[in-house]
Structure 1
């Protein structure tokens, strides 16, 4: 079970943002009644529909005219780039064109042709559906609003506008004129059913095993994050101030059809807090982690948890240790940003800080902006965001190396981060690796040789 990408497109002012709010069931996206659109770039909104995880992608509007914020060519370029990126990564599973419920016009045809023309150059397999908005005058339910489609179906066909499916709706709430109980929910269900019916399936819906290494400093909220992902309390939330570097706990839970095995790993601490004894403890824990990952068949995803705070040297070193050393730059690393409950829109943190992260050398394959505070109004939204992120990687292969080489590589990298390698000189590393870390003597000799290289 993978996260499906649904891209919402259309002319400026037809109600794309209101449509996304209808699908989400909450006013998460800024909408406007102005002629000039409010969406200037693509924005992503995770949600769950009929127990499937989706990303809804809001895009800038076409045909804003000379008074608009973005030229049509720029909007088409943004859409083309988005579709190419999604198709290259995990696929575009549905494209929804939003139209206002007026008569069929040549402008509507031009919008359709522009969008489907971009689609065809990216992939021949992207299904295109239509959502017709502002149809409250036709009735109080999508069934009554269907009369618009019956009246205009021939006109759409004459203009060469074909769709895999459609929904006729209004995005007005029940309190809006004319006030109608249940109208909003009926329209939401109609669009949910359209998305479920028309979205192309992920590559596979068979059960998958997802092996995730969760890492980050103490106190960033990893235990709360695990409980959020699992949907129940499986990890005890504690300050874990006495935990050792690379100490790890394993958790197993299911998200849909995906079976998640997660190693909650304490990353590096501030450099001046690492003693020689703790370094040897870290070496011991690193070997245990590698053995567990090898037995499980490798790593699917590295999940890096940080607080919404400044970027420190320790954060950079954690990223390098896990991404460059443990995963040898071959395992995708995704970022989870916690403690965002004070943000009006949690996802707003990302565009403000993405460039800064890149300047510090932290490049990620995905992200989720969340709060782990149980009972918070954004808790459900956070769960949808992190689950949608995880399920993008349940169809990928797993990375692993021969255990001896993997251990040697990790220990060499670990020592370079946590202290001066000089204190290892003259020590009987073979004895330490056999007695303390329980390696066979021949394996210990080969691992020790890696530390001297």
Structure 2
């Protein structure tokens, strides 16, 4: 390895500290939320950080014998574009990413939202941190603040408003509805009770959703990918432009997979298939054994940004070791460290059984293909597809798969490389999406008939 490459990597020191990134608009109560978690005042509640500065401050604390590092970040504010020079914002973003890499990666994202501020920046902030920066690789929870005077029970707010998030296809692994008022500074017994109830709601939420294995990746790759997506997101939209269709790379483990990984010389890709999944179009490319080590060729032939979601399909009746080895090859070649990986286990009766089967070989050496594998490296979302004879369980699983695929693919952006936030100077143009040859379109609910996992339908465009 060259001296330059050695210098570009930052050593990650093993640590039991769990890193939590708190984000949201200024004024929604991020600092007050940190004080609520800590049980004391450690974060200043007045901040002059406006606009998208990417400034951050780290607070170290311990709750119930668990050490946490909470990163308070400046968010994206409506109408704040241009208040911070682009060059400064990019420097701050790089520093945030570098610091998180040195701190052993990210375990949890906390999206702080004020109950009275459900406006258009809701999705912008979500995509900025969850998709562009964290690549949808870490758990994310929503904490709704400002509910001290809510007429109903605070938790009822979510039931009354969750459709707002669902319409925007925003996924959360959990939520809490709270007030961040200081219990020691309120006189009303009702408010004091709500303050204590808020802390009781937030602490278990954090403890239960923090990832067992932190997500972290090589610093250079993460910084460049995050910067490219952030730049594209901030680029003023052109007239008559459409959002690129998310690209899915899908590998379905054959019942008998005897060929060595990547042994076949012919690695040309079949045409993409435009599939409708629950009303969302996806451009799906079938990856076969000979393609498992062809991720670079996929970028050259299909789309330079690569896939926005990786789906690995296997069966609970397959050998777990063989599945994990091929999943590791698929994950490694197609950039799984920077893209979400969804593992679908056919014939598993439930998500719990699929998860247990998939993780049965954690920390076991799978060196047949020259690789070792553990759950932390793959960072997979595991879902079950029950047998067809269990119609009710299958319908429920298919609906959950649809939601997972809709919400877990990266926000598709593709831009040409330019200088620091070059979109401000009008020097950025989205690249055209390459559809491939022989594309087909399935207008029906493809997942309900499992056409994503089995041979492609014959209908042509």
Which TM-score tier does this pair reach, normalised by the shorter chain? Answer: 0.3 to 0.5
TM-score (norm 1): 0.46
TM-score (norm 2): 0.46
Higher helix proportion, which one? Answer: 1
